[in-house]
Amino acid sequence: MHEDKIVWAFFDTSGSNFEMGKGRLNRNLCRTLFSLRELNPDSVYEEIDFKTFTFSESVSPVVFEDSGDVKNFSSKGKSSLSVLSSFLIDSCNPDSITSILLFSDGGFDFKEIENFKRFRAENQNIKIYSAAIGIDANVDELTSISDKCFYPDNVLKAVDYAIEALYRKVIPPIYIKDFL
């Protein structure tokens, strides 16, 4: 695996993500990430390292059972985008693209959304692709904080977008004033 080819996946473990089977869905989506290499040998998935975390009031690495399976996720209160942004600032290299998969149903506080949008504007090297979890997911909210939002039935497309972002060069914005 190439050290610079990492896709970071964050699974929202707030209380609302345990309604209507969303907790099991998130766990199965996490399992899917780890099975991509096995199911698709000699593919781009071989080059990618998936780092997986749960987040709500804190960010924690996904825990594995002795058998190697993903341990059941547990509900941990309300999701905090400020906790997520702090973790990303501390963990990501500002000189390279960081590709994020965000699995959530939304439901964030308005102030947190606005602050996260500012964080995104200041950290354009961080590319976020969200997967809307559950029929009650707030897709508009997830779209507003992401580069692109996908429904869970299209989660592999979200994974492909996140991987593709690692291979793109960052092109600085061009302003008309630069040509005048």
CATH assignment of the domain containing 54: 3.40.50.410
Q: Which residue has the tokens 């989660």?
A: 155
Q: Which residue has the tokens 């969200």?
A: 130
105-115 burial by CB neighbour count: b if 16+ within 10 A, else e? bbbbeeebbee
Q: Can you read off the two tokens belonging to residue 36?
A: 């991509």
- The residue range of the domain holding 168 is 6-178
Asked if residue 16 is part of any domain, the answer here is yes
Query: Structural domain tally of the chain?
Result: 1
pLDDT of 89 over the 80 cut:
yes
Asked if residue 155 is part of any domain, the answer here is yes
Count CB-CB contacts under 10 A for residue 66. 6
| Contacts (Cβ under 8 Å, ≥6 apart) of 164 | none
Asked if residue 78 is part of any domain, the answer here is yes
Asked if residue 1 is part of any domain, the answer here is no
pTM: 0.83
74-88 pLDDT tens trace: 667 788 899 999 999
13 in Cβ contact with 54 (< 8 Å): yes
Task: Give the Cα separation of 43 and 24 in Å (integer).
Answer: 27
Asked if residue 34 is part of any domain, the answer here is yes
3-57 pLDDT tens trace: 568 889 898 887 666 566 666 777 777 777 778 877 877 778 788 888 888 888 8
